[in-house]
Chains A and B, each alone.
Chain A
Amino acid sequence: MRMKYEEPIEIAENTYWVGHYDEEAGFHCNPYLIDDGEEAVLIDPGGITHYPHVLKKVIRAVDLDRIHHIILHHQDPDLCASTPRYEELINHEVTVYNPLRASFFIPYYGIKSRVVPIRRDGEALVLKSGRRLEFYLTPFVHFAGSMVTYDTRSKVLFSSDIFGAFSFDWSLYARDDYLEAVKAFLEPYVGSKKALENVARKLEQLDIEVIAPQHGSIITDNIPEFIQALREMDAGVYLE
């Protein structure tokens, strides 16, 4: 049965996929929203082209003024570019969380909010409810300043481009051959095996129930196998 992609879709408790499904596209972006009651967190809101669709879903899920935090996992336009539009609509200051080495670039989108640069693994955004969103740096996968977010309450890993995929035949949840699609996307974009091994080592320490990537499909099964695959992927082939 096809899911109702026109609506926000709850992927874990009070955690929503708010992306846009373009049936013609071979590449899809996945913004997410955590509604934690008093505060909501927007994760990788996306580019300009999908913005009207994403905004509609965000508004359906929460009152915009409950959004106090925006997480940007690196500096790419497909996740950052619409941030200033949200800043204009939200009637109070928001805080942006971004890896230190990406944080010098994101003001060029016109982002005016206070930016908290993430410098070390385990730094966290602790919400008023006590919910802890931990950040883990993933240098050079794919940008020098890249990170992922682990929600310690829902055990969802927001993995950014890691575990993303090219997908013409897209579905929100991963199908059996999804790992093959992940390799197709990740191998051409990562420059070093060492960088991938570093990510695998960090993720192996976390108790992950759901992987929610910024492209492709959500993973709920065989998570250790996906993490192990990072160690086995080719990287830096374009340098040979």
Chain B
Amino acid sequence: MVTYLDLINAMVRRETAILGREKVGKIVAKAGLSIGEDGKVAVPKGMEKQKLEELARSFYEECGDITLIGCRILVNRLAREGNLKLPDILKF
């Protein structure tokens, strides 16, 4: 079953390919999160949906529309699989 945490990790992985490890590390840190050795983001329980939106907003604010164009299709596909509601910023 796909979860909001899966969406966060998929988005971070995608953005890392576009923006590079360093930039993404900074953006994730700004959202009060960190990326572990395994490349996965740890998110406090119950905060996943909120952090997904915060992260999407931060990617957009730091690096513009390319970041959202680059991950929307992926995130929407996963959200559909998990029957998860997306924040407006990630919708088409």
Footprint of B on A, CB under 8 Å?
26-27, 165-169, 177-181, 183-185, 187-188, 234, 237-238
Contact = CB atoms under 8 A, between A and B. Distances in A.
Contact of B19 (A168, A179, A183, A187): A168
A238 B91 CA distance: 11
B82 interface: no
Contacts of A180: 13-14, 16-17
B66 A26 contact: yes
B92 A26 contact: no
A166 B66 contact: yes
Interface of B: 13-14, 16-23, 63-64, 66, 69-74, 76-77, 92
A-B complex: 8 closest residue pairs judged by Cβ atoms: A169-B20, A184-B70, A180-B17, A181-B17, A177-B17, A168-B19, A187-B73, A26-B66
A180 B64 CA distance: 18
Contact of A178 (B17, B70, B71, B92): B17
A197 B64 CA distance: 31
B10 to A, nearest CB: 10
Contacts of A27: 66
B20 A168 contact: yes
Per DSSP, chain A at the interface is loop
A189 to B, nearest CB: 9
21 contacts: A26-B18, A166-B18, A166-B69, A167-B18, A168-B20, A168-B23, A169-B21, A169-B22, A169-B23, A179-B17, A180-B13, A181-B17, A183-B14, A184-B71, A188-B72, A234-B73, A234-B77, A237-B73, A237-B76, A237-B92, A238-B92
Nearest to A181: B17
Contacts of B20: 168-169
B77 to A, nearest CB: 6
Nearest to B10: A180
A184 B63 contact: no
B18 A181 contact: yes
Contacts of A179: 17
A165 B20 CA distance: 13
A177 B21 CA distance: 11
A188 B22 contact: no
Given A26-B66, A27-B66, A169-B23, A184 B18 contact: yes
